Chains A and B, each alone.
Chain A
Amino acid sequence: MTFDWSFFWSNLLTPRGPFLQGLALTIIISIAAMVLALIIGLVIALMRRSAFLPFRMFASFYIWLIRGTPLLVQLVLIYTGFAAAGIFRFSDIDLPGLLIKAAVQAAIVGLVINESAYISEIVRSGLDSVPPGQSEAAMTLGMTGASAMRWVIVPQALRIMVPPLGNSFNGLMKSTSILSVIGVSEMFLVTQSISAATFRTFEIFAVVAIYYLVLTTVWTVIQAWIEGRLNRMVGIDATPSVVGRLFGGRAAGPVLNPADAK
């Protein structure tokens, strides 16, 4: 076995400019797509709960369509397929000091569409997890539906939603590697080109694996912090530590309201 340690260490510790740009693009696309997918996912979830039948039908159709097809196919359809059929062609957006390439736009749109369908289901199950007595209590105080959502339902649903949403974001960061097929020069595509230029395939892909691992690990820490805050908000003090979360098993989750568990 030949493993070029010096190539490995230098690429790991002092990555080249293009690699760092790829890393930055991966992070930016992930965050942008997640934020937008959260908004669209919330809208789809609310449509799914709407009293207005066409909204419910649209939301169900959207979720069915998007969850039933691969992200890879969706991306190629959105970027290449639509352009080839003359439906829609992404073009670069040149803002002062900011150039958003066509492929990057298509990538974000594709990821948002794909992720929002899954997120809407997470949001829906989160909202459904809040006992009906909570919205009844809010209503008896004279709150309107929107006010009850804002002050009573969503704060409690968040606690349920954050672990699966965090999981989604973790998956999303890794899914960005698929964007290489539409030519987005994120971390994976840069790695591929370094590999092609140097033939150090094993070394450079070991490096990129470590970088993805660092990204998802940092996110694990952030997510643990968010969950801890939300748990304390409902008066639960015990939250698994980051170390316990990474390397230890998890005990049964804390019970929100012991009276409800009876």
Chain B
Amino acid sequence: MPKTDPASSSPSGAAAPLVRARGVTRSLGGRTVLDDVSLEVSRGEVVVLVGPSGAGKTTLLRTINHLESIDRGEITVAGKRVGYVEGADGKVRSAPKRVLAKQRQDIGFVFQHFNLFPHMTVAENVWHGPVRVLKAPKAEAVAQAQALLARVGLADKADVRPNKLSGGQQQRVAIARALAMQPKLMLFDEPTSALDPEMIGEVLDVMKELAREHMTMIVVTHEMGFAREVADRIVVMDAGAVIESAPPAELFANPQHPRTRSFLSKIL
């Protein structure tokens, strides 16, 4: 099989971006949700996506692990297209389901509404992926789950059902569940938007800890304090397009785009 991706095989592979989106376009019912979006995220980088609602932040995030399809452009993670394969004839097709499933193992996703499995205990939620998907030995996976739960401060909740937990606790379990797959990349879709205010801090703390450990993260959020403190770069989207991208200090001090200025003035 010919190597189609020089970036991942060349010696400079480590410097190549982990996530590369080029010209990504998606329409839904005649409306352009993503309009020629390009974005690169390096290994270890924390990128925060901001913008007014309807700007396409969540859609962009969901296209990165192919929860949403794209009409044009390409998205690669670690040099490989996600959800698509390029045939020998140069045509791009949907990837076989197993190939896509395998790629998703490396991409953790944290949902706004947690989406924990209600019929499993907290610990099962965390070890289920490693055991059923990665075929890890159960004893090891259970031990790892226990360690991850300790890391998010929920070691004592291992044996309860998710519906007995607060929203903040559920979201921390959801992060532990994603981390159990040992992903290369973590995507967060408004992880604190469904939480009561007093629970936002505990979830952000876990995410900050992850950032300190150099996890590559793309975070859609309205928490500007978090963005300022943790993000290496803030990407501003509006009307399905990226309008600005800069380190937080620079962006907050000197926004270039008028719509960035108007957006920031509303939320800061």
A-B pairs, top 4 by smallest CB distance, nearest first, are A235-B161, A142-B105, A137-B115, A140-B109
From residue 144 to 170 of chain B, which have CB atoms closer than 8 A to chain A? 160-164, 167, 170
Chain A residues with CB under 8 Å of B143's CB are none
Asked whether A139 lies within 8 Å of B104 as measured between CB atoms, the reply is yes
6 further A-B pairs in the complex, CB-CB below 8 A; given A134-B115, A141-B104, A144-B97: A133-B111, A137-B117, A139-B104, A140-B104, A141-B128, A259-B113
Interface assignment of B207: CB less than 8 Å from any CB of chain A: no
CB distance from B82 to the nearest CB of A (A): 12
CB distance from A259 to the nearest CB of B (A): 6
Residues 123-163 of A, flagged 1 when their CB comes within 8 A of B and 0 if not, give: 00000000101101111111111010001100110010000
CB distance from B105 to the nearest CB of A (A): 4
From residue 221 to 262 of chain A, which have CB atoms closer than 8 A to chain B? 233-236, 256-260
Interface assignment of B133: CB less than 8 Å from any CB of chain A: yes
Interface assignment of B114: CB less than 8 Å from any CB of chain A: yes
Asked whether A257 lies within 8 Å of B118 as measured between CB atoms, the reply is yes
Chain A residues with CB under 8 Å of B114's CB are 259
How far, in whole Å, are A233 and B163 apart by their CA atoms in the complex?
A: 12
Asked whether A151 lies within 8 Å of B128 as measured between CB atoms, the reply is yes
CB distance from B130 to the nearest CB of A (A): 9
How far, in whole Å, are A236 and B118 apart by their CA atoms in the complex?
A: 10
Which residue from chain A places its CB closest to the CB of B134 in the assembled complex?
Answer: A142
What number of A residues sit within 8 Å (CB to CB) of B? 28
CB distance from A9 to the nearest CB of B (A): 48
A147-B133, A234-B119 are contacts. A140–B163 as well, Cβ < 8 Å?
no
Residue among A134, A138, A140, A256 with max Cβ neighbours from chain B (10 Å): A140
Asked whether B101 lies within 8 Å of A134 as measured between CB atoms, the reply is no
From residue 174 to 220 of chain B, which have CB atoms closer than 8 A to chain A? 177-178, 181, 194
How far, in whole Å, are A145 and B104 apart by their CA atoms in the complex?
A: 13
Give me 30 A-to-B residue pairs in the complex whose CB atoms sit less than 8 angstroms apart, sorted by A's number. A133-B111, A133-B115, A134-B117, A136-B115, A137-B117, A139-B67, A139-B101, A140-B67, A140-B109, A140-B178, A141-B129, A141-B177, A142-B102, A142-B103, A142-B105, A142-B133, A142-B134, A142-B181, A145-B97, A152-B117, A155-B119, A156-B118, A159-B119, A234-B161, A234-B163, A257-B162, A257-B163, A259-B113, A259-B170, A259-B194
Residues 148-183 of A, flagged 1 when their CB comes within 8 A of B and 0 if not, give: 000110011001000000000000000000000000
CB distance from A183 to the nearest CB of B (A): 46
Asked whether A234 lies within 8 Å of B118 as measured between CB atoms, the reply is yes
CB distance from A245 to the nearest CB of B (A): 23
CB distance from A227 to the nearest CB of B (A): 14
Asked whether A143 lies within 8 Å of B115 as measured between CB atoms, the reply is no
Asked whether A136 lies within 8 Å of B105 as measured between CB atoms, the reply is no
Which residue from chain B places its CB closest to the CB of A139 in the assembled complex?
Answer: B104
How far, in whole Å, are A8 and B115 apart by their CA atoms in the complex?
A: 59
Residue among B103, B119, B170 with max Cβ neighbours from chain A (10 Å): B119
Asked whether A143 lies within 8 Å of B132 as measured between CB atoms, the reply is yes
Asked whether A256 lies within 8 Å of B118 as measured between CB atoms, the reply is yes
Chain A residues with CB under 8 Å of B181's CB are 141-142
Chain B residues with CB under 8 Å of A156's CB are 117-119
Asked whether B116 lies within 8 Å of A137 as measured between CB atoms, the reply is yes
Chain B residues with CB under 8 Å of A233's CB are 119
Chain B residues with CB under 8 Å of A256's CB are 118, 163
How far, in whole Å, are A155 and B128 apart by their CA atoms in the complex?
A: 14
Asked whether A140 lies within 8 Å of B108 as measured between CB atoms, the reply is yes
A151-B132, A256-B118 are contacts. A136–B101 as well, Cβ < 8 Å?
no
CB distance from B19 to the nearest CB of A (A): 15
Which residue from chain A places its CB closest to the CB of B110 in the assembled complex?
Answer: A140
The contact of B160 among A140, A152, A235, A236, by CB within 8 Å, is A235
Which residue from chain B places its CB closest to the CB of A260 in the assembled complex?
Answer: B113
Chain B residues with CB under 8 Å of A142's CB are 101-105, 129, 133-134, 181
CB distance from A61 to the nearest CB of B (A): 28
How far, in whole Å, are A230 and B105 apart by their CA atoms in the complex?
A: 29
Chain A residues with CB under 8 Å of B133's CB are 141-143, 147
The contact of A144 among B101, B162, B178, by CB within 8 Å, is B101
Asked whether B101 lies within 8 Å of A143 as measured between CB atoms, the reply is yes
Interface assignment of B31: CB less than 8 Å from any CB of chain A: no
Interface assignment of B266: CB less than 8 Å from any CB of chain A: no
How far, in whole Å, are A151 and B133 apart by their CA atoms in the complex?
A: 11
How far, in whole Å, are A3 and B241 apart by their CA atoms in the complex?
A: 86
Asked whether B111 lies within 8 Å of A136 as measured between CB atoms, the reply is yes
Chain A residues with CB under 8 Å of B102's CB are 142
A136-B67, A141-B105, A142-B101 are contacts. A235–B113 as well, Cβ < 8 Å?
no
Interface assignment of B65: CB less than 8 Å from any CB of chain A: yes
Interface assignment of B91: CB less than 8 Å from any CB of chain A: no
CB distance from B238 to the nearest CB of A (A): 26
